[in-house]
């Protein structure tokens, strides 16, 4: 078996019947890193994983793992010859085998009951649970066994198919951290697919946003959140406030006043400017500066809260402002609205959604 290797996918296409699912997809996962593919349901993420694992045949394009050609140019390496670990949704442990036998499944016969299995059990924090049967484990434990099973043969790459989806919210962040630690400890290259933007941003070294069968942006989480390539990516990875603007000299004239912009700022003319709700602050003290508005409602999340503010003026534009919970003025209060930092400009109004103002992330 190989060590961690770089996955390189070029021009990958796959259709089911006449329905195209992957359309010329390009993606590189550097050795030893965790890349999350983030996309809405039906964008082809699972097909990408299954084609990489070799369960589906690619119609066109190539997949390389390290120096090895897995698929393309008439080659279709069988799944068992790819050295790619696969961790499916809900784990899919073999129910007739105990934990140790599950983990040892991919090892040569001689190693199945040896130290390697113990080592992996320790790696995922399940020492001593080897004799248990899968149904005697909690959901989170099953996921960790599934990961240990995938890592056992020291694959060049591990694929994780929405692995935390089946877990309750409370357990999810804990198992996420444990999986992250186990992957880091083995230095494995990992590719994870998810539709949960919070999961992708918090877990991955790099996030690839997938849409309609292709990757539209690959970046580290901070860059992706701050500088998405288009309005759709912007709204997919987080809540956004979109405002029509006129650009000049690196500034945008918007309903919230004059805001410094980056991105397509040089273009001039009309544009859409994206701001994150945490860049917008509200103040209900009478001496405050900024645009006038009325708080129409608040949502309290505990760690923070969001206020919905309708700006004074004929258009009745609404914006979102995020703040630490206790400090937000309640509904019905008159406030002043200001902006911190710079906005991201997207040239032209063409990409903007039909209505100006608040756009909530489409993620769950």
Partner 1 sequence: MPVADASRSGAALAAPLGWARRGRGRTPVGLLALSAAIALLALAPVGFLLDQTLAGGWAEVERLLFRPFVGHLLVNTAMLVVVGTAASAVLGVAVAWLVERTDLPGRRLWAVLAALPITVPAFVTSYSWVSITPAVQGFWGATAIVTLAYYPLIYLPVAAVLRGMDPALEETARSLGLSPWRTFLRVTLPQTRVALLGGMLLVAIHLLSEFGAFAMLRFQTFTTAIYDEYKLSFDGAGASMLASVLVLLCLFLLVAELSARGRGRYARVDSGAARPAPPARLGHARWPALTGFAALVGLSLGLPLATLVYWVATGSSAGIDVSALLSACGTSLELGLGAAALTTLLALPISVLSVRHPSRLATLIERATYLPFALPGIVVALALIVLSLQHLPALYSSTPLLIVAYAILSLPLALVATRAALAQVPPIHEEVARSLGSRPLVALARVTLPRILPGLGAAAALVFLATVTELTATLLLAPIGTQTLATQFWAKASTFSYGAAAPYAALMVAISAVPTYLLTRRLGAVVRPPER
- Rounded Cα distance between 323 and 309, Å, is 13
- Rounded Cα distance between 236 and 37, Å, is 13
Residues 255-274 that bind partner 1 (CB under 8 A): none
Which residue of 55, 181, 299, 353 would you call a contact of partner 1, by CB under 8 A? 55
Question: Does 66 engage in binding with partner 1 (CB under 8 A)?
Answer: no
Q: Least distance from C-beta 256 to partner 1, angstroms?
A: 35
Binding mask 78-107 for partner 1 (x = CB under 8 A): xxxxx-xxx-xxx-x-xxx--------xx-
Which residue of 33, 141, 142, 342 would you call a contact of partner 1, by CB under 8 A? 142
Q: Least distance from C-beta 220 to partner 1, angstroms?
A: 24
Q: Least distance from C-beta 321 to partner 1, angstroms?
A: 30
User: Which of 67/80 has CB closer to partner 1?
Assistant: 80
Which residue(s) pair with 30 in the sheet? none
Whether the CB-CB separation of 224 and 212 falls below 8 Å is answered with no
Q: Least distance from C-beta 119 to partner 1, angstroms?
A: 17
Question: Does 129 engage in binding with partner 1 (CB under 8 A)?
Answer: no
- Rounded Cα distance between 344 and 288, Å, is 25
User: Which of 110/289 has CB closer to partner 1?
Assistant: 110
Residues in CB range of 213: below 8 A, 6 or more apart: 13, 20, 21, 22, 23, 24, 25, 43, 44
- Rounded Cα distance between 332 and 342, Å, is 28
Per the structure block, which two tokens stand in for 244? 């029509």
Give how far Cα 351 sits from Cα of 189, 212, 271, 290, 335, Å.
35, 17, 9, 28, 30
Residues in CB range of 18: below 8 A, 6 or more apart: none
User: Which of 213/277 has CB closer to partner 1?
Assistant: 213
User: Which of 151/345 has CB closer to partner 1?
Assistant: 151
Neighbours of 216 (CB within 10 A): 17
Question: Does 140 engage in binding with partner 1 (CB under 8 A)?
Answer: no
Neighbours of 4 (CB within 10 A): 19
Which residue of 10, 111, 154, 165 would you call a contact of partner 1, by CB under 8 A? 165
Chain residues binding partner 1 by CB under 8 A are 15-19, 21, 41-47, 50, 53-57, 78-82, 84-86, 88-90, 92, 94-96, 105-106, 134-135, 142, 149-150, 152-153, 161-162, 165-166, 193, 195, 364
């Amino acid at each position: 078996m190989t060590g961690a290797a770089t996955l390189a996918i070029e021009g990958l296409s796959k259709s089911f019947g006449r329905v195209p699912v992957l359309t010329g997809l390009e993606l590189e996962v550097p050795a030893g890193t965790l890349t999350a593919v983030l996309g809405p349901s039906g964008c082809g993420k699972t097909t990408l994983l299954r084609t990489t694992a070799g369960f589906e045949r690619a119609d066109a394009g190539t997949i390389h793992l390290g120096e090895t050609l897995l698929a393309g140019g008439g080659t279709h390496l069988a799944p068992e010859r790819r050295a790619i670990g696969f961790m499916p949704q809900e784990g899919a442990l073999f129910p007739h085998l105990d934990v140790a036998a599950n983990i040892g499944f991919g090892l040569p016969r001689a190693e199945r009951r040896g130290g390697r299995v113990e080592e992996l059990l320790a790696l995922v924090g399940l020492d001593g649970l080897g004799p248990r049967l899968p149904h005697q484990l909690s959901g989170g434990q099953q996921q960790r066994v599934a990961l240990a099973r995938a890592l056992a043969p020291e694959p060049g790459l591990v694929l994780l198919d929405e692995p935390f989806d089946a877990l309750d919210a409370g357990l999810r962040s804990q198992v996420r951290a444990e999986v992250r630690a186990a992957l880091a400890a083995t230095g494995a290259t990992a590719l994870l697919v998810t539709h949960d933007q919070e999961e992708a941003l918090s877990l991955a070294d790099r996030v690839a946003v997938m849409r309609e069968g292709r990757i539209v942006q690959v970046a580290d989480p901070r860059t992706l959140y701050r500088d998405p390539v288009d309005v759709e990516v912007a709204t997919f990875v987080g809540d956004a406030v979109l405002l029509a603007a006129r650009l000049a000299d690196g500034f945008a004239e918007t309903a919230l006043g004059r805001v410094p912009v980056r991105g397509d700022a040089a273009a001039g003319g009309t544009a859409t400017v994206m701001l994150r709700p945490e860049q917008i602050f509200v103040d209900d003290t009478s001496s405050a500066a900024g645009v006038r508005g009325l708080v129409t409602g608040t949502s309290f999340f505990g760690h923070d809260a969001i206020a919905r503010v309708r700006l004074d003026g004929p258009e009745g534009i609404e914006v979102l402002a995020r703040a630490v919970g206790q400090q937000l003025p309640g509904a019905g209060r008159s406030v002043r609205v200001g902006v911190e930092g710079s906005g991201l400009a997207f040239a032209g109004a063409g990409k903007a959604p039909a209505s100006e103002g608040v756009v909530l992330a489409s993620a769950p």
